[in-house]
């Protein structure tokens, strides 16, 4: 699974090359604030340039990461698609919904109390409220439709049958819609994080706002990892399986 990266070619590697080679690279990307979940097809050089980060420094950290603390993350690459979808429904998506509802509740309370003094709170609240609606709709579509299709493909392989998928023709189509949803949610989070930076410039932020900011940052970390599992592991594997089944 692990590959040795060439120092001279480092800038040309895609983020997903690092992620697929060594899952512990996730912690490196997180430490530098690099969005790895929706940028898997971008080169390390391009992402670092976009974020104003020294690529050589990031690349050095990535090569040093090795297999350190990667066992917990690596399991997702090893699981079959049925187990992966079960886990996403039972654990990840449940945590995402619980975290989002908690933030929404705290945002409403904090915005009502401090919104007149900290204007950014109102926009953070409205952006997150819209994002929450989209996330809930997205999760519903995955759990009631896409994940069932993926499990059907798994069963087709198990029973040596060709998939009979009507309507959307190929699993690539609903996956494309889910990826589009991911990008939109990520854009909303980027806006929220930008507003948080503006808030943090103020040295007299009340403890309630500080606590809210930490909650949002923790949610962002978990949400990015969730998107990574789907964008860079689940979806490519599902597409690959469908191609394999249709060839036979």
Query: pLDDT tens digit string along 156-180?
Result: 999 999 898 777 789 999 999 999 9
CB 207 within 8 A of CB 113: no
Residues 177 and 138: their CA atoms lie apart, in Å, by 9
Residues 1 and 66: their CA atoms lie apart, in Å, by 12
**Annotation: CATH topology of 10-73:** SP0561-like (1.10.3910)
3-state class of 141 per DSSP? helix
Which residues in 70-87 are b (16+ Cβ under 10 Å) and which e?
Answer: beebeebbebebeebbeb
Q: Is the pLDDT of residue 1 over 70?
A: no
Which residue spans of the chain are classified as CATH 1.10.3910? 10-73
**215 vs 26: which has the higher pLDDT:** 215
Query: What would the pLDDT profile of 79-133 be if each residue is shown by its tens digit?
Result: 999 999 999 999 888 899 999 999 999 999 999 999 999 999 999 999 999 999 9
Give this prediction's pTM. Answer: 0.81
Kindly list the distances between the CA atom of residue 214 and the CA atoms of 85, 101, 211, in Å, as whole numbers in the listed order: 29, 15, 5
Confidence of residue 69 (pLDDT cuts 50, 70, 90): low
Residues 206 and 133: their CA atoms lie apart, in Å, by 28
């Amino acid at each position: 699974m692990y590959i040795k990266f060439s120092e001279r070619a480092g800038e040309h590697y895609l983020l997903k090359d690092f992620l697929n080679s060594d899952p512990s690279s996730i912690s490196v990307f997180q430490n530098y604030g690099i969005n790895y979940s929706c940028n898997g097809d971008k080169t390390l050089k391009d992402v670092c340039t976009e974020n104003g980060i020294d690529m050589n420094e990031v690349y050095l950290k990535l090569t040093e990461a090795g297999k350190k603390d990667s066992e917990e993350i690596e399991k997702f690459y090893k699981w079959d698609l049925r187990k992966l979808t079960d886990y996403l429904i039972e654990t990840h998506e449940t945590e995402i919904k619980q975290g989002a509802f908690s933030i929404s509740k705290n945002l409403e309370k904090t915005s009502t109390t401090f919104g007149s003094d900290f204007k950014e709170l109102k926009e953070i609240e409205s952006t997150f409220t819209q994002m929450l609606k989209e996330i809930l709709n997205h999760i519903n579509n995955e759990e009631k439709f896409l994940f069932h299709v993926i499990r059907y493909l798994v069963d087709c392989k198990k029973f040596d049958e060709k998939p009979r998928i009507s309507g959307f023709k190929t699993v690539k189509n609903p996956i494309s819609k889910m990826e589009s949803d991911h990008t939109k949610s990520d854009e909303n989070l980027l806006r929220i994080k930008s507003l948080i930076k503006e808030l943090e410039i103020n040295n007299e932020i009340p403890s309630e706002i500080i606590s809210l900011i930490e909650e949002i940052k923790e949610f962002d970390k978990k949400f990015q990892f969730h998107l990574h599992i789907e964008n860079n592991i689940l979806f490519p594997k599902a597409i690959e399986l469908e191609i394999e089944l249709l060839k036979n």
